[in-house]
Amino acid sequence: MRVAMISLHTSPLHQPGSGDAGGMNVYVLQTARHLARRGVAVDIFTRATRMGQGEIVEVEPNLRVINIIAGPYEGLAKEALPTQLAAFAGGMLQWEHCHDVSYDLIHSHYWLSGQVGWLLRDVWKVPLVHTAHTLAAVKNAHRSAEDTPESEARRICEQQLVDNADVLVVNTDQERADLVEHYDADESIIRVIPPGADTELFTPGSDRATERTRRELGIPLHAKVIAFVGRLQTFKGPQVLIRATAELMRRDPGRALCVVICGGPSGQHATPEEYAQLARELGVERRIRFLNPRPPQELVALYQAADIVAVPSYNESFGLVAIEAQASGTPVVAARVGGLPLAVAEGETGILVDGHEPEAWADALGTLLDDDETRIAMGEAAVRRAASFSWCAAAERLEELYEDALSVGVADCPQRFASGKER
């Protein structure tokens, strides 16, 4: 089986944790890797963003990233990418033609890729599997008052995909319900496949490793550490953690606490400097450390060195950070939104917080910081919890789904495929 994956707006080879690169990049790369190891040939098409990155990047046997030229390498904001959909689709067609390959199925990620996949599906006469990752209507229903809404144009494009894709893949039952509630999706085409975590990389660390990391980061060994890992934008809620930190310090000014925020700017409306400014206004600038995004091989040390990982998002389709932290033996305090109640076992591997008020977050964080016994027990349970999420299992279920789509895809759509050759 040969699959064309589309990840137009961000390459799976980009460093996640800043800009447009986050969980989706990890998801695309990991599922593609595991599909490739199962014998499925995967080409991931993404927009070229750098001179000299080459058209084809061989990632591992059976897996390539194809950089399609569509618009300038730099200077094109995500908001402007809809202007390049035709160029990108044309680039993919040209690629297929010049390299004499044909694809059995298209799997598109995010609505921009979905729009291209929708067109090519009809040209190639193959099934279109689409994963939205996030949805405008859901984000708008959950965003904070200080965040800007997603556009109606994006919602319309998502609606078209819900109405036209052959299969919709989601991470959780909650996302399935969201698709039905907000987009009136046909439930029979939705497949729930939970994502995974690299549990070979993300493992608990030794006390010595934790000590070393803390020394490297300049964190006092006796301080308690809360970590936030992810893109810095209002929707991910770093401001919630900064305000909760101020509340914790107001309640106990002598508390030895260090909050590490690891990630880079993402979206138009929040920069690390704005978060640093908020910390200064609240008088907690000495408690908060900002770190640049880092690759998973380095991130694991941060998860291990933290006493708690906080995920204060306004919504998460799943929340990979919550699983990675748990795999590293660290309990998670997360917002009770989206996929987080599935990722975190409430009371066993962490705490779920309702809403985003600093007082509620300070209650949850403070309780867990002050109770070493519970926190350590939760860290141990967290490792077991994370072990149930695997990329290998996700890829196996994707392959099954692809096979199902191939067996029914063409036959089920007589109008669409009436005049075309079957592959």
Phi, psi for 197 (deg, rounded to 5) = -150, 155
Binding residues for UDP-N-acetyl-alpha-D-glucosamine: 15-16, 23, 231, 236, 294, 316, 324
Interface with ligand UDP (CB under 6 A), residue total 21
Minimal distance, residue 319 CB to ligand UDP, in Å: 5
Minimal distance, residue 31 CB to ligand UDP, in Å: 13
294 is a site residue for ligand UDP (CB under 6 A):
yes
Using the minimum distance from each CB to ligand UDP, give the nearer residue, 8 or 119: 8
Using the minimum distance from each CB to ligand UDP, give the nearer residue, 312 or 379: 312
Residue 249 near residue 226 (C-beta atoms within 8 A): no
Q: Which stretch binds ligand UDP (CB under 6 A): 17-25, 93-101, 151-159, 411-419?
A: 17-25
Q: Which stretch binds ligand UDP (CB under 6 A): 5-13, 21-29, 53-61, 239-247?
A: 21-29
Binding residues for Mg(2+): 303-304, 306, 330
Binding residues: 9, 15-16, 20-25, 78, 110, 134, 154, 231, 236, 294, 303-304, 306, 316, 324, 330
Binding residues for 1D-myo-inositol 3-phosphate: 9, 20-25, 78, 110, 134, 154
Using the minimum distance from each CB to ligand UDP, give the nearer residue, 132 or 229: 229
Using the minimum distance from each CB to ligand UDP, give the nearer residue, 289 or 423: 289
> Which residues inside 228-257 make contact with ligand UDP, applying CB under 6 A?
229-231
Phi, psi for 306 (deg, rounded to 5) = -85, 150
Which of residues 8, 137, 169, 262 is near ligand UDP by CB under 6 A?
262
Q: Print the binding letters for residues 274-293 with ligand UDP: x by CB under 6 A, - otherwise.
A: -------------------x
Which of residues 5, 26, 190, 288 is near ligand UDP by CB under 6 A?
26
> Which residues inside 311-330 make contact with ligand UDP, applying CB under 6 A?
318-321, 324
Minimal distance, residue 240 CB to ligand UDP, in Å: 15
Minimal distance, residue 117 CB to ligand UDP, in Å: 20
3-state SS of the chain?
CEEEEECCCCCCCCCCCECCECHHHHHHHHHHHHHHHCCCEEEEEEECCCCCCCCEEEEECCEEEEEECCCCCCCCCHHHHHHHHHHHHHHHHHHHHHHCCCCCEEEEEHHHHHHHHHHHHHHHCCCEEEECCCCHHHHHHHCCCCCCCCCHHHHHHHHHHHHHCCEEEECCHHHHHHHHHHHCCCHHHEEECCCCECCCCCCCCCHHHHHHHHHHHCCCCCCEEEEEECCECHHHCHHHHHHHHHHHHHHCCCCCEEEEEECCECCCCCCHHHHHHHHHHCCCCCCEEEECCCCHHHHHHHHHHCCEEEECCCCCCCCHHHHHHHHCCCCEEEECCCCHHHHCCECCCEEEECCCCHHHHHHHHHHHHHCHHHHHHHHHHHHHHHHCCEHHHHHHHHHHHHHHHHHHCCCCCHHHHCCCCCC
Minimal distance, residue 168 CB to ligand UDP, in Å: 18
Q: Which stretch binds ligand UDP (CB under 6 A): 23-31, 39-47, 89-97, 413-421?
A: 23-31
150 is a site residue for ligand UDP (CB under 6 A):
no
Residue 182: partners with Cβ closer than 8 Å, 6 or more residues away: 135, 137, 138, 141
196 is a site residue for ligand UDP (CB under 6 A):
no
Binding site for ligand UDP (CB under 6 A): 16-17, 22-24, 26, 229-231, 262-263, 293-296, 299, 318-321, 324
